[in-house]
Amino acid sequence: MTTWFTVTPSPIDDLLLTTDGRALTGLYMAPHTIGLDFERDDEHPVLVDAARQLTAWFAGERIDFDLDLAPAGTEFQRRVWDELRRIDYGETISYGELARRVGRPGAARAVGLANGRNPISVIVPCHRVIGADGSLTGYGGGIERKRRLLDLEARLAGGRLPL
């Protein structure tokens, strides 16, 4: 099965977008490698639409995304990722709160691991999850990128998020 990809610029570095041909399957931050069965297609409609919406999001022209998503993961991971999409733009929650929201109040560590395996970052906003004490913890793209994403949302939402 072929996976198509493109690379699009963003304020937080180049983003690698992937699709299975019908939905977005990945959004990865540089540096990231791709599989041998990946084929570059800068004109694939799924990838063009995702890049267009990301550009608008980073410019503050939209606060959410209207894309078909197909992240590969376990049932639990997909439940966590679905819940991430329910966190409002400009808001943050703790890992413990995320665990409560997915019906596993004692599973903050498992939720953190699922959060860290999110294959569609930014669009599935794993950056909105912070430590119980308000600290910025664990982000696959690096804490500085997490801070920049949260600052962008806070500025555009008119608020101030914890740093």
Q: Is residue 105 part of a domain?
A: yes
On whether both 50 and 81 belong to a single domain, the answer is no
On whether both 23 and 92 belong to a single domain, the answer is no
**Domains in the chain, number:** 2
Containing structural domain, residue 131: 75-157
- pLDDT tens-place string over residues 34-43: 666 788 999 9
Which of 12, 31, 58 delimits the end of a domain? 58
**Residue 18 scores a pLDDT above 50:** yes
Q: Is residue 113 part of a domain?
A: yes
Q: Is residue 50 part of a domain?
A: yes
**Residue 143 scores a pLDDT above 60:** yes
Strand pairing partners for 26?
18
* Catalytic hit among 27, 80, 114, 126: 126
Phi, psi torsion values for 43, nearest 5 degrees = -115, 5
pLDDT of residue 33: 67
pLDDT of residue 159: 53
158 is catalytic: no
On whether both 87 and 119 belong to a single domain, the answer is yes
Do the beta carbons of residue 122 and residue 116 sit within 8 Å?
A: no
Q: Tell me, what CATH number does 124's domain have?
A: 1.10.10.10
Query: In the chain, where does DSSP find H-type helix?
Result: 45-58, 75-84, 95-101, 108-116, 143-157
On whether both 80 and 142 belong to a single domain, the answer is yes
On whether both 108 and 45 belong to a single domain, the answer is no
On whether both 88 and 42 belong to a single domain, the answer is no
